Amino acid sequence: MAEELPDPDSAPYWEGIAAGELRYQRCAACDAAIFYPRSICPTCGTPEPAWHVSAGDGVVHACSIIHRAPPAHKDEAPYVVALVDLTEGFRMMSRIVDCDPDSVAVGQNVSVVYREDSDGTPAPYFVPSP
Amino acid sequence: MSLNKACAIAGVAESRLGVVPDSTVMTLQAEAMVAALAEAGLEKSDVDAVFSSGNWGRLPQLQVCEYLGIQPSYSDNTSVGGASFEFHLGHAAAAIQAELCKVAVILYGSTQRSRRERRIFEAHTDLGYQYEAPYGLPIPVGAYALAASRHMSQYGTTPEQLAELAVSTRSWAQLNPKAYRREPLTVDEVLASDMIASPLRRLDCCLVTDGGGCVVVVSPEIAKTLPKAPVWLLGQGESHSHAQISEMPDLTVTPAAQSGKRAFAMAGVTHSDLDVVEIYDSFTITVLLTLESLGFCKLGESGTFVSGGRTAPGGEFPLNTMGGGLSYCHPGQYGIFLLIEAVRQLRGECGDRQVANATLALASGTGGVLSSNSTVILGLE
């Protein structure tokens, strides 16, 4: 993780990840699920959305097998980057791991796991689920 | 209020394009500006407004104006990726209409091919990007690949349909002496090119070239006194919906849906009135999504729309007639070249690639990761 992180918006999220919790926010006024974390609801503008914990279950909304990776990830290719729609109603980027990259498809059910990234910081990843 | 005929384009020019090692971003912008002003019959001293977008400097607007020796009374560095220049044209029209300026130059230059100045997509890991950074999505191609993945899954769009767009665009480039890639291309060759980020292959991706451009925008009163027939701004719209791909509201609908609607309404024309269309082709999928969002076809039907050589020379829908970012040039922020080609088509200056009797053109720029769009409609008197 970059030196300037976590920041005041993201600290509860990264603390959650370190504790094995996928945290997200929900607006108390309009009930919108919010990701990434913010100090204001991007739907209705109400400040200070409340923190919640996701069950970590979702569906692959879109995915790409990365063959030509950025320099920092060259040794990891090919890998699957996906946008995952969580059951609670928010979308996040992650990787789908522990599977054949070619087997991952839009609509695939996935669930969260926690792995350390290249600099030792835990981050949420997803694995296929029934 | 409307920007319909609030301004006209009086001059356009490219700098040298392709690989231009003996240049800087400044020399390329200077080169383009000198040529565009000469074409317009104007002097540098006539310029009272500057619009530019660059990713190469700390304060690029100040740097380029300093280099060129212009102290503008109206200055706009709106920088929303490759679409910036269509935004600039709308902003220039508004400023001219408000009588804040009379002669504006829109400028761009990049030496990203020769000098590897690709700072625009340097890995950002802070703020919103911290939630994407761990996963190694190559930007921009990976983001466009995700959109393509979604479009294929949702609508059955195929790699062959994307490839066909690349092939049609290459056919136009073969008619343009300035195009970087002019050798023939087949669908099979596109489908055999290296996979970069599935489903996008090497030949679904735009070029990486050097190049610069300039568009001279003037008030209606001045336009009528100049040597070239004015090309009028008839309509313009702009919008942006997100900065990073995980925040895109719908991966298959771009901000062109919003900007296009305003541009058409302002121009008072419909899709079938257009003679020539220039749509930002950072990737093949960019064009398909933009065609749908602009309403040229229904959502999900762009794959079929571009099939059968429809957008190739001789087809019924002349698209990216200079060869596009895919085959003509793509120096990072390519949107200024859409304006340049649209103007030349309307003036009938395009030689072998000229669309017969073109009087109405649309140019639609897309920037970021399908993030920003501005669409302009241009016409003759």
Distance (Å, whole) CA A69 – CA B251: 22
The minimum CA-CA distance between B192 and chain A, rounded to whole Å, is 14
In chain B, where are the structural domains located? 8-118+210-233, 138-206+236-379
CB B319 within 8 A of CB B287: yes
Dihedral sign for Cα B112, B116, B121, B122, please: negative
Instruction: Give the separation between CA B9 and CA B104, rounded to whole angstroms.
Output: 10
Rounded distance between C-alpha atoms, residue A22 and residue A1, angstroms: 17
Q: Which residues lie closer than 8 Å to A70 by C-beta, 6 or more apart?
A: B123, B136, B138, B139
The whole-number pLDDT of residue B149 equals: 98
Give the pLDDT band (50/70/90) at residue B72: very high
Report whether CATH 2.40.50.840 matches the domain A11-128: yes
Using the Cβ of B178 and the Cβ atoms of chain A, whether some distance falls under 8 Å is answered with: no
pLDDT of residue A118: 73
The answer to whether B138 faces chain A, any CB pair under 8 Å, is yes
- Which residue in B227, B237, B232, B281 sits closest to B262, CA to CA? B237
Chain A contact present for B194, CB below 8 A: yes
Mean pLDDT of B327-356: 98
How far, in Å, are B7, B230, B262 from residue B98 at the CA level?
A: 11, 20, 20
Residue B108: its pLDDT value, please? 98
Please give the pLDDT value at position A3: 67
How does DSSP classify residue B161?
H
pLDDT at A4: 77
The answer to whether A19 contacts chain B (CB < 8 Å) is no
Q: What is the dihedral of CA B149, B151, B154, B160, to 10 degrees?
A: -80
Enumerate residues 6+ apart whose C-beta is below 8 A from B236: B3, B86, B89, B90, B93, B259, B262, B263, B266, B374, B375, B376, B377
Residues of B in contact with A1 (CB under 8 A): 125, 130
Kindly state the DSSP code that residue B324 receives in the 8-state scheme.
I
The span from the CA of B151 to the CA of A92, in Å, is 18
Q: Among 3.40.1440.10, 3.30.450.20, 3.40.47.10, 3.10.180.10, what is the CATH number of B8-118+210-233?
A: 3.40.47.10
Instruction: Let me know if the fold of B8-118+210-233 is the same as that of B138-206+236-379.
Output: yes
Q: CB of B131 within 8 Å of any CB in chain A? A: yes
Cα–Cα distances in angstroms (integers) from residue B90 to residues A99, A102, B3, B201, B320, in the given order: 49, 45, 7, 34, 21
Identity of the amino acid at B261: K
CA distance to partner chain B, nearest, from residue A16 (Å): 13
C-alpha to C-alpha distance for A1 and B214, rounded to whole angstroms: 41
State whether residue B198 sits within 8 Å of chain A by CB: yes
Q: How far is B283 from chain A (nearest CA, A)?
A: 15
Q: What is the pLDDT of residue B9?
A: 98
Q: Which residues of B touch A73 (CB under 8 A)?
A: 136
A121: closest chain B residue by CA:
B134
Contact assignment for B150 to A93 by CB distance below 8 Å: no
pLDDT the model gives residue B363 = 99
Complex ipTM > 0.90: yes
pLDDT band at A1 (very low <50, low <70, confident <90, very high): low
Residue B66 Rama label (left phi>0; alpha psi -120 to 50; beta): alpha
Contact A70 B136 (CB under 8 A): yes
Q: What is the pLDDT of residue B258?
A: 98
Q: Is B128 on the interface with A (CB under 8 A)?
A: yes
- At residue B381, the pLDDT reads 75
User: How long is chain B?
Assistant: 381
What tens digit of pLDDT does each residue of A13-50 get? 999 999 999 999 999 999 999 999 999 999 999 999 99
CB pairs under 8 A between A and B: 105
For chain B, what is the mean pLDDT? 96
The confidence score (pLDDT) of residue A5 equals 86
Q: Which two tokens stand for residue B226?
A: 């100049």
Q: Please report the beta strands in B198-350, taking only residues with DSSP state E, as ranges in sequence order.
A: 200-201, 211-218, 231-240, 276-279
What's the confidence (pLDDT) of residue B120? 47
**Fold observed for domain B138-206+236-379:** Peroxisomal Thiolase; Chain A, domain 1 (3.40.47)
At B77-135, the pLDDT tens digits run: 999 999 999 999 999 999 999 999 999 999 999 999 998 655 545 678 899 999 999 99
Q: What is the mean pLDDT of residues B240-247?
A: 98
Determine the 3-state secondary structure of B28 from DSSP: helix
